[in-house]
Amino acid sequence: MTDNAYFDLEDFLFKERAEVEKALGRSLKYLDRYLPVGLAKPVRDAVMAGGKRLRPILCALVYRKCGGQIGPAAYDLGVSIELIHTYSLMHDDLPCMDDAQLRRGSPTTHKIYGEEIAVRAGLALIPAASLQAIRAIRELGCDEKISQSILIELNCAAGAGGMVGGQYLDLMAEDLMLDSDKLKNVHRMKTGALLTTSLVMGGLAAYASEDKITGLKKYGRAVGLAFQITDDILDETSSSKDLGKNPSDGLLDKVTYVSIHGVEESMRMARDLSDEAVGVLREAGIESPELNAIARYIVERKL
């Protein structure tokens, strides 16, 4: 797999998702002992509800590309990020947030188990993610300095300076007319932080050079923003049935890239960010047809 022209991304993602699902199964089995009574099933249902699994795939891929020996532990590290991502979706769907009825084509956690259980189950995934990361770090044999760096990276991306902060700004921005720069800041925190951290954690675990880590951060920020712009385009141009979620940001009167720039200009912006992501990898000396193809996939996907 050295030539982009012959790289089969669909086959790659299919095989990688299978490894991620196995790792999620291992993770939930491990975490069962730590979850409060009554939360194990809603947590399991939410975590195993499907999805692109892009974040853990990116973590394991970068670990391999930066010289790590790929194996189950690399995917175990990646799913710690997926646990945080699942928490964010569970809380994003709550009545006090987006009040979503569907997620990935199925009823949301609060619709099945009630709002209190959904809140508690989501919150339980935050320390669970750190426990999972610690377990994976030990399996990978990372030294103390790298282990600390990985845990700091995960929790900073999940917290007030990252995804949680982005959720808060997103909620406060409803019915407000944000400009493009402020909207970019919201999405760099809410969507981009965890995606970027997926790459950085994989690189750190493989003892990647500082230049490579910097390149991975730049790639992640560009791809994360492209991902959100594409989500805005899909929200505008697809039905709830096609997307598997309801309501869309448009129905919630949120400011989106499409509401500011229109569909055509938003598509151009997403493509430019995809090109930027590929370029920064080249500058960092990271040869990866997989990462190049993922940057393209993010702006060309239909769901």
Question: Which residues sit opposite 246 in a β-bridge?
Answer: 102
Calculate the average pLDDT of the chain. 90
- Residue 227 banded pLDDT, cuts 50, 70, 90: very high
Q: How many angstroms separate the CA atoms of 179 and 208, rounded?
A: 37
Q: Check the CA dihedral 254-260-262-266 and report its sign.
A: negative
247: amino acid identity, one letter: P
Helix (H, G, I), strand (E, B) or coil at 213: helix
* pLDDT tens, position by position, 251-275: 556 788 898 999 999 999 999 999 9
DSSP track, 103-131: ETTEE-HHHHH-HHHHHHHHHHHHHHHHH
* pLDDT tens, position by position, 177-218: 778 888 888 888 888 899 999 999 999 999 999 999 999 999
Q: Give residue limits of the domains in the chain.
A: 4-300
- Residue 117 banded pLDDT, cuts 50, 70, 90: very high
Q: What is the structure's pLDDT at 254?
A: 76
Arithmetic mean of pLDDT, 230-252: 71
Q: What is the structure's pLDDT at 128?
A: 96
Q: What is the structure's pLDDT at 180?
A: 85
Query: How far is the CA of 90 from the CAs of 14, 125, 150, 173, 185, in angstroms?
Result: 25, 10, 24, 20, 22
Arithmetic mean of pLDDT, 236-251: 64
Q: What is the structure's pLDDT at 168?
A: 83
Instruction: Tell me if the domain spanning 4-300 has CATH number 1.10.600.10.
Output: yes
Three-state SS string over 134-173 comes to HHHHHHHCCCHHHHHHHHHHHHHHHCCCCHHHHHHHHHHC
User: Residue 172: how many CB atoms within 10 A of its CB?
Assistant: 11
Q: What is the structure's pLDDT at 250?
A: 54
